Amino acid sequence: MSLQLNAQITLNETDSSKVVQLNEVVVNGNKKTDQQHLVNFFRSNQSSTLEEIMERVPELSLMRRGAYGMEASIRSFSSSQVNVLVDGMRIHGACTDRMDPATIYIEPLNLDNLQVQTAGKGFLSGSSVGGTINMKIAEPDFNTAHPFSGTISSGYQTAAKSFYESAKLNYAKERWAFRASATYRKSSNYRSGGGEVIPFSQYEKINYSLSAKFQQNKYTYYKADIIADDGWNIGYPALPMDVGYATAKIASLSVHHQQASKKISQWQLKIYANNIRHYMDDTHRPNIAMHMDMPGYSKTAGFYGEAEMMLNKKQRLLFRADASSTYLKASMTMYETGQLPMYMLTWPDNRKIQNGISVSWLYQVDSTTKLQLNSRADYILSNLVSQEAKDQISILGYANANRNDLLKNISASVTKDFRPGIKANINLSYAERMASASELYGFYLFNSNDNYDYVGNPKLKCEYAFAADASVSYNWNKNRIQLNYFYSKIFNYITGIKEPSFSTMTIGANGVKTFINIPFGIMTGVEASVLLKPAPSVDFVSTLRYTYANDDQHQPLPLIAPLKNVTSVRYQPNRFSVQLETEAAATQTRINIKSGEDETPGYFLLNARLGYNTTLLNNNFSIQTGVENIFDKKYHEHLDWGNIPRPGRNIYLQLKISF
């Protein structure tokens, strides 16, 4: 994890309240959002993975199963309760064990910004009770001094003996601009705090991206994007299997129009498709009872359109319409000498067709008060698409596993400026979410965290949540303090319960669980952030988050991140910069024993970073180095599966040339 020293954190002086944030996020994307300050601060080192950046965003926490493929959750809402979009596109991992969340297919080098939409705005691009993470991918740049520009970087980290190489090239001429990038990472088994090497934590991957932009006129441009990601030999120490290869191909075509004077001030339309293949096996594991392959496929195609309409000087409407079709299939084959292979579908092939429309009304009541109403409806068809799949699900007692769901979401938000610099926002919302493919159709999916096999339940009811969210921020000079509070009561909360009459599929598992709706779950918590600039060359950033979650029996919900604080101080008088950073998490004692959770001890980490920037022959050179986890603390986070320790002391060095 490496954070750069030379990047400026620019405190956004413009309005960064959530009301405007939605507008910016949904339609503009090029203005800065709340989290954007933090993302920029933490992204500055190009060798950080996207996961490493996300971990610093107070709303986000990551579920870890290995050094790679961590799964993002917002405010400890589970991944099924959260939308993860790539530039507005839906993308579904092809792994039944969720080893491949969409975030692994995007490199920070391709990332323009990360948008985290919570509470009342979390459902605008897809019905959701937990919110939306949208990874806005970088666009070709017209504003370059020379037709050709780019960066080359190279880095090394000691903890995993890992290499990072990347190159980015931008070409702009007249009305055309192109951007190409490639990133290569190779990582060996990492060393945890105290010196233990974690077996099966290696990985290797290449990521390519290519974008072309054509500016038709002042108002309209077209864009084509392709991202290809190939990973292989990816170890998952917390799981009984590794990944032989994982490939993703993501492509889109879009048209964007912006003309502030017109009634429809801006609109965009995008069509997209993506295809993921994910191949799990255990060929490298010692002492396995039986060799096993688990390939998975995911294919999605869809479109979305967004538009902003100015009703008058004070009122705007935002529209979004989208539709997508996702096909999933995963299987498992086991081999026993002298017998026919044992084959079954772990995701009986299924298709989800989603059609949604959302409307937001933004009303600037007076110079200090803003009102926003959001609504969205989704109509979703879920089907098993082959006889093989239907036959298999019929075993569980479901003769018909097809379903149609109408999901409704609505929210209202008021933002008020009090004294100069003080702003408050209150948000109330109602949202629904559909059960995931695994929750509906999963067939003996092994969860190594609680050591149970899970079978799906096509008759699950949709979750619906009532949520309230309040925030206060205070901006003065170049400083900012913000406090958020959220409360969410999720009815029909989906969770797994033991199914004693079923026998386990996985050798050594404790039993079988099936998904059911429990009456409700409650999630509540706070996030706080402080950004200070006591002197022109000094930046101070500190974030804090806490989530408290209970089920209807007053038992803690599983996989809830404990109190955590990340604090950074950066001193950058000139070309040279230095940064000290602490990460601290409290002990998580609120655990769900039924899910096999145990207490996770708190920890305190100290990181130090140095940077130097210079210009040579018109090229910009930057060198970054640092030590992370200086005390070589052996620790893991509460959301990490299998209590596998995280990396220990890590020294990194990175060079970057910009031309």
Query: Which residue ranges make up the site for another protein (CB under 8 A)?
Result: 290, 332, 334, 336, 339-345, 388, 390-392, 394-397, 443-444, 499, 501-505, 507
Closest CB to another protein among residues 1, 334? 334
Cα gap 405→356, rounded to integer Å:
12
Q: Minimum distance from CB of 98 to another protein (Å)?
A: 22
Per-residue tokens: 589: 């004692």
Q: Minimum distance from CB of 279 to another protein (Å)?
A: 19
User: For every residue of 532-565, which 3-state class applies, written as one string?
Assistant: EEEECCEEEEEEEEEEEEEECCCCECCCCCCCEE
Q: Minimum distance from CB of 503 to another protein (Å)?
A: 4
Name the 3-class secondary structure at 76.
Answer: coil
Place of tokens 């599929």: 505
Cα gap 639→63, rounded to integer Å:
5
Q: Minimum distance from CB of 509 to another protein (Å)?
A: 9
Residues 6+ apart with CB under 8 A from 443: 344, 345, 346, 347, 348, 392, 393, 455, 456
Closest CB to another protein among residues 64, 390? 390
Q: Minimum distance from CB of 497 to another protein (Å)?
A: 15
Cβ count near 549 (within 10 Å): 24
Closest CB to another protein among residues 97, 100? 97
Residues 6+ apart with CB under 8 A from 84: 72, 91, 101, 102, 103, 132, 133, 135
Cβ count near 340 (within 10 Å): 7
Q: Minimum distance from CB of 448 to another protein (Å)?
A: 17
Q: Minimum distance from CB of 582 to another protein (Å)?
A: 48
Cα gap 378→83, rounded to integer Å:
14
Place of tokens 């596993």: 401
Closest CB to another protein among residues 396, 468? 396
Q: Minimum distance from CB of 97 to another protein (Å)?
A: 17
Q: Minimum distance from CB of 392 to another protein (Å)?
A: 5
Closest CB to another protein among residues 240, 305? 240
Sheet with 82-86, edge to edge strand ranges:
89-90, 82-86, 131-137, 111-117
Q: Which amino acid is at 262?
A: K
Closest CB to another protein among residues 447, 482? 447
Q: Minimum distance from CB of 449 to another protein (Å)?
A: 20
Strands 463-476 and 89-90: what pairing?
unpaired
- Are 122 and 130 contacting, i.e. CB atoms less than 8 angstroms apart? yes
- Are 551 and 493 contacting, i.e. CB atoms less than 8 angstroms apart? yes
Place of tokens 């072309």: 212
Cα gap 291→339, rounded to integer Å:
13
Closest CB to another protein among residues 391, 552? 391
Which run of H or E residues covers position 485? strand 479-498
> First vs last Cα of the chain: how many Å apart?
25
Phi (first) and psi of residue 406, to 5 degrees: -110, 120
Closest CB to another protein among residues 288, 608? 288
Strands 242-258 and 479-498: what pairing?
unpaired
Closest CB to another protein among residues 291, 416? 291
Q: Minimum distance from CB of 230 to another protein (Å)?
A: 30
Closest CB to another protein among residues 143, 337? 337
Bridge-partner residues for 137, per DSSP?
A: 111
Closest CB to another protein among residues 89, 292? 292
